[in-house]
Chain A
Amino acid sequence: MSSTPTREVARRAFADEFNDAHYTFKESDDERAPLYVLLPTGEQANRVFVVGTLTETEDVGDDSEYWQGRVVDPTGTFYMYAGQYQPDAAGFLREAEPPHYVAIVGKPRTYETDEGEVNVSLRPESITEVDAATRDRWVVETAERTLDRIEAFDDEANEYARMVEEEYDLPLDRYREAVVDALESLDEESAAEPADGV
C-alpha cells in the first residue's frame, strides 16, 4: 500500500436503504480511523453521493445556525445537517430556494434519539444545484450499484454481506423492489412530461 491514504469511494444508495443503515463500525482501533455505516445490501460506506430534490430547509440550531435540508429521491427522504463546521454547505442551505435538484457529496452519520431509535443523516462536504438530467442519471446509476450489491450478496467472500446477516434483520428483496420502483418512476415522469426539456 502507498503511504498516502486512499480516498474513500462515494457509495450510491437510495434513501430507503441509506436510512436503514443503522450499524456503524471502524476497521481499525486508531482513533482517527474512518467511520463506516453498513449498507443493508452488503457494503460499507464512509462517503455517499446523492442527487435529489431539495424540498425544505430549516435552521434547527439553538445558539448557532444549524441547517437541516430534506432531499427527496424516488424511494424516500435524505436528511442532511450543516453547521459552523460546514460553512459552505450551511451557506448554501441558508440561500437555497427549494424546490430544486441538488447533488450532495457527504458523510453518513447516525444518532440515537431519546426514544432509542437510530436516525441516519448526511453531513455534506459539498452541495451544488444540478439539473434534471443529472438527477435521472443518478437514479439509474444508483439502481445499477444497488443491483450489483444485491447480486454479490451471496458471495462467500463478501464480508459486509456476512456482517449484514449478523447485524440486521432486513429482507434483501425489499431493496430490489425499491430499485424497480425508482426506475419505473423515471418512466412515468418522462411519459407525464413528454415535451419537457428541463
Chain B
Amino acid sequence: MSDTDLRTHAEEVHDQFSDHLDVTVEEILDRLETLVGEYSVPVDEARRSVVSHYLDEAGLERDELGGRGGNDTVQIEDIDSAERWVDLTAKVVDLWEARSDAVGQVGLLGDPTGTIKFTAWAKSDLPDLAEGEVYRLQNVVTDEYEGRFSVKLNRTTTVEAVEEDLVVGDNDEEIEGALVDIQSGSGLIKRCPEEDCTRVLQNGRCSEHGEVEGEFDLRIKGVVDDGTEVHEVIFDREATEDLTGITLEEAKDMAMDALDTTVVADEMAADTLGRYYRVSGPTMGRYLLANDTELLDEPADAESVLITARSIQ
C-alpha cells in the first residue's frame, strides 16, 4: 500500500464529509496511516473505521453520506468544479483497463453535451457498468486533474440501468459546404402520436400503427456537399426553424392557406438550397444531426488560393 493510494482514500473520505465536517485531508490521512502503518489493519477496514468515526462525529448514518437527495442533476458539460456531489444520466462510451487494483472500473461516460472520465473504486462494491448502456447515476462526486474533470463512483452511488438510448455529444462533427438537396420527407410532416413512436406518417399512415391522427412537426433531411464529400444532415424542428426562419405555426398556416403541405418544403428549399453552411452536431449512422447551423456569408479568402494558383508550375 503506497502513500498515494492512502492519500486517495483520505481524499475520498474527505469528499464524503466535506459538506458535514470541518476536517482536512491531512487529518484523515493521519488516521488511516496510523491504522494501516502501526496496526497493520487492511486498508478497506481502516477506511471503514475512519468513516465510522466521522459518521459518529457528524451524527450521520452511513447511507446519508454525500448529500444524497439534495444533489443537482447535471449534464456533463455543466461539470466545471471539483468535489461536487451530483446525479447524472449517461452512457458508457468506453471502458479502459484499470491500472490500479484500487480501481474497479475506469472509462468514459457520455451524454448529449459531452463526455467525461469516470472511476469506480473496487471496494465500493458497485455493479459493473456495461459499455454502450445508459445509467442513471446518483451520488457521484466530481474531481479535477490538470483542468480536466472526472466523476468518481463511490460506495454511496446508486446505479440504475435506463432503457432509453441517448446520443453522445462527443462525436460532434463539423462540416462546411453547399446545401445541394432537400430530400423527400422534409418540411411540414406528421408524426405518429403513439407513445414512443415518432415515425413519420406516409399518407396518414404509420408503418407500425396504421392510420392515426398525426402530429405536425418540422424536419429537413438535407445534403451538404463540399465538392469532395457528401453529408446527409437531419435538421429537427428547432434546427429547421433556425435554418429557414419558418416556425411550425407559420408552416401550418402556409399549408392551410395553400391546402397543401408541400408548399412548406418548396419555400424552405427556395430560401436555403445552393447556400453555404457550417453545420455541427453528433452523428447517428450516416446522418449528422444538426445542432448548430451557420450561414457562411462572409467573404471567402481568395488571396491565399490565388497565391497557390500562381505557385503551381
Q: Which residues of A contact B (CB under 8 A)?
A: 6-12, 47, 49, 51, 102-105, 125-131, 133-134, 136-145, 147-148, 150-151, 176, 179-180, 183-184, 186-187, 190
Contacts and interface: CB of A to CB of B under 8 A. Distances in A.
A130 B297 CA distance: 11
Interface residues of B, number: 31
A147 B312 contact: yes
A130 B274 contact: yes
Contact of B225 (A10, A128, A130, A143): A10
Contacts of A127: 274
Contact of A9 (B230, B308, B312): B230
A93 B101 CA distance: 73
Given A140-B300, A186-B302, A49 B273 contact: no
Given A9-B225, A128-B269, A183-B309, A134 B276 contact: yes
A129 B195 CA distance: 42
Contact of B299 (A9, A136, A144, A176): A136
Interface string B142-172: 0000000000000000000000000000000
Contact of A103 (B229, B275, B301): B275
A49 B300 contact: no
Interface in B157-211: 178, 180-181
6 contacts: A7-B232, A105-B180, A105-B273, A136-B302, A140-B302, A176-B309
Contacts of A130: 274-275
B298 to A, nearest CB: 7
A140 B310 contact: no
A71 B228 CA distance: 23
Contact of A141 (B223, B270, B300): B300
B276 A137 contact: yes
B305 A133 contact: no
Q: Which of B223, B270, B300, B301 neighbours the largest number of chain A CB atoms within 10 Å of its CB?
A: B300
Interface string B269-285: 11011111000000000
Q: Which of A10, A12, A131, A147 neighbours the largest number of chain B CB atoms within 10 Å of its CB?
A: A10
A145 B227 contact: yes
B306 interface: yes
Given A126-B273, A180-B310, A136 B230 contact: no
A147 B308 contact: yes
A184 B274 contact: no
A128 B302 contact: no
A134 B297 contact: yes
Contact of A134 (B223, B230, B269, B274): B274
B296 interface: yes
